[in-house]
Structure 1
Amino acid sequence: MVATRAQLIWIPSSGVGHLVSAVEIAKLLVERDDRLSITLLVLNPPRASKSNPFAELLASVSSSTASAAKSQIRFQELPYEDDPSGLGAKSNMSLAERHKPQVRAAVAELTRALDSPPLAGFIIDMFCTPMIDVANEFGVPSYMFFTCSAAFLGFMFHVLALQDDEGKDLSEFKDSDAKLDIPTLVNPLPAKVFPTVVLDEEHRVWFLGAARRFRETKGIVINSFEKLEPNALKSLLGDDKIPPVYPVGPILNLEVTGRSDKSSEILSWLDAQPSSSVVFLCFGSVGSFHDDQVNQIAHGLEKSGHRFLLSLRRPPPTGMLRAYPEEYENLAKVLPEGFLERTSERGKVIGWAPQVEVLAHPSVGGFVTHCGWNSTLESLWFGVPIAAWPLYAEQQFNAFMMVVEHGMAVEVKMDYRNDLGMETKEIVDSEVIEKAVQKLMKADGHDEKKEKVRQMSERSREALAEGDSSHLAIGRFIGDVFKNIP
């Protein structure tokens, strides 16, 4: 008998970008099928710095979701667990491991309720694979939410096979000029843009362990779309060792629920600038630079002659990996002497930035970004060309995809690193930054990269339309969830 109702337990990662996209996909699912209800069990992260946007973000998305999805989506915060290991990719996994008893208890309580729909399964973030064990205890399937690209998913499976099936020592790729053929990429991938977790022996253990566990799931939901990654998705779908893949993207939070004084000031400044004249520099919720690099960025922008909006935040204390940066008390102290005065008529330096609203603004003509996957998808959605300056996680891989694989971005420095103890000691010179900005903001309206970005912007919107690829993938996923109910 086909179930008339079903509930899913969703366990997102504590990363800001992970939570936002998880909530947006949850909204899509319940809007498509009112038989579904979803409970998000939120694992609160360690508070490693005074400026932690996670709690504020959670309150915001909980409030907006409550009004949009009524009672079909619920949030339940689990008590904060101290993390003696500090922040970083490794601790995301340990955070999930430590929360197993709390998740077990919360799900047991939910399923005991008299009006509780049948438990259809768990949707787990890619950093929460220990929760597969809890789903198994309840006798329900696990589905994974993969917050990176389809090509990167293929990369994970490929390097796992290199080690497990071919006995390859992956440490050989560190400081190597080697290139690797990846089934989900057309072009060979240089080892210099491998994610740090593959090059670093300690973190490689959990990275490959996570990839092994991905294979235990009943399906993988990916925030990407067919017209962006046709080759990668074809490769994944043709591999019988990989669970079914559902490319449902681009899933973005484009709502503006309220405008702060800060965002109003920024947008008012943009209103006064000519169309497509401003280069926007922003490096994500965790991105920051030390003083020497900030100086080079400032000099590069000044010499470029272009209008700019620069988002800068102070790095966390040394040793606090992935801790959130904090606002500068006085930006003038970290910038070259007289910089703010000399550039006052064509530039603005800010702390936090309302990124979606800025990218949507008609005066913005280019985006210097860390290449986080959400930021990459947002830039494509709004048709804003990219200059790639990756920092951490899989961002070097994303930069390679955008610059080489798709030809939709220019490079600042694709192999720049700033995480997991492998921070680069190199300072990107102001001349490199100046040239990248000049190339990004090229005035020629027939620039090939800009035209590709414009076309992909159209395709990203088409993907979610009724009957198109992502719309159909969401329907397939919902159908399989009901089919797989125990």
Structure 2
Amino acid sequence: MPAPMEAAAREGQVGSTVAVVMVPFAAQSHLAQLLHLSLFLCSRPGFAVHYASTTTHVRQATSRLHPAWSSFAKDISFHELPIPPFRSPHPDPSGTKFPAHLQPLFDAFEHLRAPVGELLRSLSASSRRVVVIHDPLASFAADEAAAFPNAESYVFHCVPALFQISIARPSAALELSRDHGLTLPSLDGIMTEEFMAFAQRQWTPSRIAHAAGMLLNTCRALEGEFLDKIAREPDYCGKKLFAIGPLSPLPFVAGAVAERLVSSHECLNWLDKQPPASVVYVSFGTTTAMSSEEVKELAQGLLLSQQRFLWVLRDADRADIFAAEGNDDGQKMEMAAEWEEKVGERGMVVRGWAPQLDILTHQATGAFLSHCGWNSCAESLCLGVPMVAWPMHSDQPTNAALVVDYHGVAVAVRAGSEAVRSEAIAAAIRRVMVGEESEGVRRRARELGEAVRAAVAGGGASRAELDAFVALITR
């Protein structure tokens, strides 16, 4: 990645600069993906990159950015925009798996429209062109961009193409299931009714019409035929589609994927002491709150598997992760002394934020037991790490079908919606880590990882589409 531009150079380009404005949705995976795209674009000449969200979520996105990339982020203009106060309750592990505790934030988030409009008005007056790249759940930005003659908007999808087809065109998804042996899950219960109403208010036909094109955080190596299917859908015919992923900054900023990134987290020191490909990394992302019963079954399953493990055990994010009341990352849940004694040095539990890319790139990591959020899937697949799939909500069950059924680089912990027991967890882990089946899963994961890394490298398909997008918006 080229060296970052200096701020002084930017000031000399006012009037000729293309202002690129990122408007992410206020959830960690959405925030991170558009920040990663910002990191790439701010290295290109002629751009002024702006990242606009609430005060809380700008702070969240930047505070969780890997230290290795902080120097690149200084060339991004961050805009902390006001919205009404919102409640930030703790997650409820006994309720729906979908993070319903974030609904007060979602309701307040819609009030970001007016501040975004004011920002675009200011940039429109001082820039040759304003390019708005927005999450589908922040599509009010498309309406605001349409008001200015030198502005255009692009929608950025941070979920895979297969999920977009499943939720927008169920009949097309059924056709894909028949053609490819996919066991696509039911969409019932993957989101709350309140969130679906919010999403429908955002992603309307008029806002789809405003979009000059679509950016997708996937690549042809992962979803080629699904991308072709989307391109033929009536809503998207005639739109410019760019498959530019996976958008982890690793390929663009860090260079060779085999190199350790700069991090001092204690878990990396523990990994250094483990044999190659011997550790199961366990993490359920930022929106999953596990019940005490699930934690108990997972703890016992890890023990029964007889494999080394690194387990990140933390609650789901609150709406404001910096809220003073009860501010903590880890669950208030202690493991039984008997369990800890049996595990001994074979396992490590991290209560708090962990450097996921550092862990996945570490030579000791042999598999990833995951909720199958798309960020986690994309990072694991890019790095050739096989997965154990335990999806919870939203796009995760569909993502699990993609990695288990379609690519064969993962093993599912459960089928359907039955409760997960420790024996099933242990069996799934062992299928990936040891035995004849594991050889095939690991080989396919390595091969897919090579294909994905080739796509994002110079001369690859994803890099070519990203370069084509840059050429389009700087025309």
> TM-score range, shorter-chain basis?
0.7 to 0.9
Given that residues 162 and 398 in structure 2 are in contact (C-alpha distance below 8 angstroms), is that contact kept between their aligned partners in structure 1?
no
Displacement of 1:376 after TM fit?
0.5
- Show CA shifts across 1:263-310 (max 9, x none): 1x2111111111111111111123231211111111111111111111
Give the C-alpha shift of residue 99 in structure 1: 1.2
Measured at CA, do residues 184 and 469 of structure 1 come closer, stay the same or move farther in structure 2, by a change above 3 Å? farther
2:211 to 203, 209, 217: 217
The match for 2:20 among 8, 12, 25 is 8
Q: Distance in 2 between matches of 1:70 and 1:326?
A: 28
Question: Cα 1:184–1:154, aligned 2, differ >3 Å: closer, same or farther?
Answer: farther
Q: Secondary structure of 2:50's match?
A: strand
Identity score, percent: 26
Question: Is contact 1:157-1:211 (8 Å) kept?
Answer: no
DSSP 3-state at the match of 1:437: helix
Unpaired segments of 5 or more residues in structure 1? 47-53, 163-178, 417-425
1:269 lines up with 2:279 in the alignment: no
| Alignment of structure 1 residues 145-156 onto 2, 5 Å | 145-156=156-167
Structure-1 residue corresponding to 2:85: 82
Structure 1 residue 201: Cα displacement:
4.4
Is 2:463 aligned against 1:468?
no
Task: Tell me which of 77, 91, 100 is aligned to 2:113.
Answer: 100
Letter in 1 for 2:296: N
User: In the alignment, is the contact (CA less than 8 A) between 1:183 and 1:232 conserved in 2?
Assistant: no
Q: Are the counterparts in 2 of residues 143 and 219 from structure 1 also a CA contact under 8 Å?
A: yes
Alignment of 1:25-424 (within 5 A): 25-31=37-43, 33-45=44-56, 55-59=59-63, 61=65, 67-68=71-72, 71=75, 73-83=76-86, 88=100, 94-112=107-125, 116-139=126-149, 140-159=151-170, 180-182=174-176, 186-187=180-181, 189-192=183-186, 196-197=190-191, 200-209=192-201, 210=203, 212=205, 213-239=207-233, 241-242=235-236, 243-254=239-250, 259-260=263-264, 263=265, 265-314=266-315, 326-328=328-330, 333=334, 335-352=335-352, 353-413=354-414, 415-416=416-417
1:34-62, CA deviations, whole angstroms, 9 ceiling, x for partnerless residues? Answer: 1222211122458xxxxxxx735424649
- Name the stretch that deviates more: 447-456 or 54-63: 54-63
1:58 partner letter: T
Cα RMSD over matched residues?
3.2
Q: Against the structure 1 CA distance between its residues 281 and 60, is the aligned structure 2 distance closer, same or farther, given a 3 Å change threshold?
A: closer
- Residues in 1 aligned to 2:64 and 2:431: alpha-carbon distance in whole angstroms: 38
For residues 94 and 36 of structure 1, do their structure 2 counterparts lie closer, same or farther at Cα, with a shift above 3 Å needed?
Answer: same
Structure 1 residues 37 and 185, CA gap change in structure 2 (3 angstroms): farther
Q: Residue 93 and residue 287 in structure 1: after superposition, are their counterparts in 2 closer, same or farther (change >3 A)? A: closer
Deviations 1:388-427, CA, capped at 9 Å, x for gaps:
01122211110111111222110013545xxxxxxxxx64
Q: 1:456 to 1:184 in 2, by over 3 A?
A: farther
1:293 maps to a residue whose letter is E
Give the C-alpha shift of residue 202 in structure 1. 4.3
Aligned-partner Cα distance in 1 for 2:403–2:216: 18
Deviation at 1:443, TM superposition (A): 4.2
**Conserved 8 A contact 1:221-1:248:** yes
Find the aligned partners of 1:34 and 1:184 in 2 and give their Cα distance: 47
TM-score using structure 2 length = 0.81
Pick from 36, 39, 44 the counterpart of residue 24 of structure 1: 36
Q: 1:347 to 1:211 in 2, by over 3 A?
A: farther
CA distance in 1, matches of 2:105, 2:25: 7
Of 35-44 and 82-91, more deviation after overlay is shown by 82-91
Provide, for residues 213-258 of structure 1, a one-character-per-residue CA deviation record: whole Å limited to 9, x for no partner: 3343111111111111111111122335302210001111335885
Query: TM-score, normalization: structure 1?
Result: 0.80
Q: How many Å apart are 1:65 and its aligned residue?
A: 6.3
Matched, 1:481 2:473: yes
SS of corresponding position for 1:345: helix
Which residue, out of 434, 443, 457, partners 2:449? 457
Q: Tell me if the contact between 1:41 and 1:75 (Cα under 8 Å) persists in the aligned partners.
A: yes
Count how many residue pairs are aligned between Structure 1 and Structure 2: 433
